Structure 1
Amino acid sequence: MINVFESNIVLLSNNSMGIYFEFETKNKLIVHFKPLNEVFKSEAFNNNKGVLLNFERDLIDEDDIEYVLDVMSLFNKYPLFILTDIIEIKKIRKLIQLLENEFKDEAVSYIMLKTLLKVLLLHLIRFQNDGFLEQDLNQKRVFEFLELMEIHFLQETATKYYANKIGVSSKRLNQILKEKLNLTAKQIIQQRQITEAKRRLVRSEISTKELAFELGFDSMSSFSRFFKKYVGVPPSEFKKESLA
């Protein structure tokens, strides 16, 4: 969490999400969002009087799918929205302050950070509505793809499946995703598989063989090659190092 932000860069991995709270006046809060695989829009940092909050998507993955989809919707519907209700702005300021205090505490608690973040995100989800900004058609398709992928990526990894659901060709879907996220559908799905694999390896007792089949691989060896290609080490070694 940073009080002054001077450049438009990704501070964490591609699996990080970001919110920049720009406190323009006492009764006007501009909230900028950085979805997965993106950077903030350039206009987010015209005014450095604000607070930046970056977090890895692992902090939302452990919750139920409805909450995850609500968060993905929050980040992908609009690049920003504006709050003008003084009472609501005070609530957001208070939650940000609690997060910052916990983050800086020597006895910082992962559970406390995760809980405070969830409360903050739920407030923002409630505040957001369809009247802030109009979405362009391609942005809607990006969100639709991400929503479908979140639900089906364990069973469906083919671009054609998602393209058919959205009502465009595979080529057109990849064009849209490349334009908006600079990644193809396959790359985004693979990134999601890696994120899920890391989470399960570290936070469950699942075996590498079981995980391989849950993620849709036809053999443990093909999964191990895939994992090593993107992470740099085999899954068994990653788990061992993470738990050391």
Structure 2
Amino acid sequence: MDHKRKESEIPVHSLEYGSTHVNILPLDYNNPYDYKREHRHAYFEIMLIARGGGNQLIDFNNYPALDNSCYIISPQQVHLMNRNGSLGTIIQFTEEKINSPELRAALKNHSFDEKAAVIFENRKDLLDGCMVLTNLIKEAIFRNTRESALSVTHLLCALVSLLLENRVHSEQVSSDQNKILLLHFYQLLDVHYCENLSVKGYVQKLSTTEKKLAAATSKYAGLSPLQVIHNRILLEAKRILLFEDSSHKEISFRLGFDSPSSFSTFIKSKTGLTPSELSKHLVEIHK
């Protein structure tokens, strides 16, 4: 019996754009899609949870929904939410609504750090501060004028900056060259991860040196450049193994491996499991 989910692809949900490109909703709102099924968003989603009780899976990592906590789901991350009585507020917005290039890059960084989805937990002071900004954004959206649209943009950027400043698992957003280099590396990696590019290949595209890139990944990710590359490939392998019926041969060539055996060796070295065992494991945690 085939243990895979049988979906040909994970559904990707987009915002129905209003003039502001921002939605603020109660956590228990009636979704226009089945939130109890794994899905992806084409937008960012901030969850401000006042009362916890449920849990969510974000790119195969389980996060209990704790009281007075905040989480971010980035575009294209696999998401599954079990609300289970949780109460709070959701802010949905597109990348285009963030008018700071550095802030946009920092948000994109989330999908590469397995713990970056957790902004803070059990911090009522921070949640109260975030709700002040969120309510101001909500009021500006309601006014629906040209001037209020600018207010929405600036208030949203202030909220995102506050969240990034208080992330519990990450360095503070910085403008130093190492941070900028790392963010550019992540952006390139998201485009080229399946092309079997070496560290040297990325270094050439970034017009930097291997030493500088290693310093950046070590300082801000605690990893070598090769480990960062491997983590991105592994994430995509997990997504394909769980949601698609592709053979291991098809997956291996799709992800830039020269043979199914090299793909299997890679998976085994990173997880301790064969691709088939990993697929079964992923199904179990998503039941």
TM-score calculated relative to the size of structure 1: 0.53
Residue pair 2:136, 2:155 contacting (<8 A) in 1 also: no
Tell me by how many angstroms 1:172 deviates: 1.6
Q: Note closer, same or farther for the CA distance 1:134–1:179 as it changes in structure 2 (3 Å cut).
A: closer
Q: Which residue of 2 aligns with 1:90?
A: 135
Taking structure 1 as reference, are residues 225 and 85 closer, same or farther at Cα in structure 2, changes over 3 Å only?
Answer: closer
Deviation at 1:203, TM superposition (A): 0.6
Shift of residue 125 of structure 1?
Answer: 10
Aligned to 2:77: 61
Per-residue Cα deviation, 1:21-49 (whole angstroms, up to 9, x for no partner): 7x9xxxxxxxxxxxx9xxxxxxxxxxxx9
State the Cα distance separating 1:157 from its structure 2 match.
Answer: 2.9
Q: Using the alignment, how far apart are the partners of 2:154 and 2:266 within structure 1? A: 35
Q: Structure 1 residues 124, 75: CA separation in 2 closer, same or farther (over 3 Å shift)?
A: farther
Pick from 217, 220, 224 the counterpart of residue 184 of structure 1: 224
Looking at structure 1, the residues matched to 259 and 155 of structure 2 have their Cα atoms a distance apart, in angstroms, of: 43
CA RMSD of aligned residues (A): 4.5
Please point out which of 165, 168, 171 is paired with 2:208. Answer: 168
1:64-213 alignment runs, 5 A limit: 73-74=106-107, 76=109, 88-90=133-135, 127-128=156-157, 135-213=175-253
* Distance in 2 (alpha carbons) for counterparts of 1:138 and 1:205: 40
On the 8 A contact 2:133/2:155 being kept in 1, the answer is no
Q: Report deviation, 1:136.
A: 1.6
Of structures 1 and 2, the one with the larger relative CO (CA 8 A, separation 6+) is 2
Over 3 Å counting, the alpha-carbon distance change for 1:87 and 1:205 in structure 2 is same
May I ask how many residue pairs the two structures share in their alignment? Answer: 165
Structure 2: tracts of 5 or more residues without a match: 1-44, 51-58, 60-66, 80-93, 96-100, 111-115, 120-125, 139-151, 162-172
Identity of aligned residues (%): 26
**Higher relative helix content:** 1
Match of 2:69 in 1: 51
Letter in 2 for 1:182: G
Secondary structure of 1:52's partner?
Answer: strand
* Aligned match of 2:13: none
Q: 1:155 to 1:86 in 2, by over 3 A?
A: same
**Unaligned ranges ≥5, structure 1:** 1-17, 24-35, 37-48, 94-122
SS of 2:227's equivalent?
helix
CA distance in 1, matches of 2:178, 2:189: 16
4+ residue segments displaced more than 4 Å = 18-21, 69-72, 84-88, 123-126
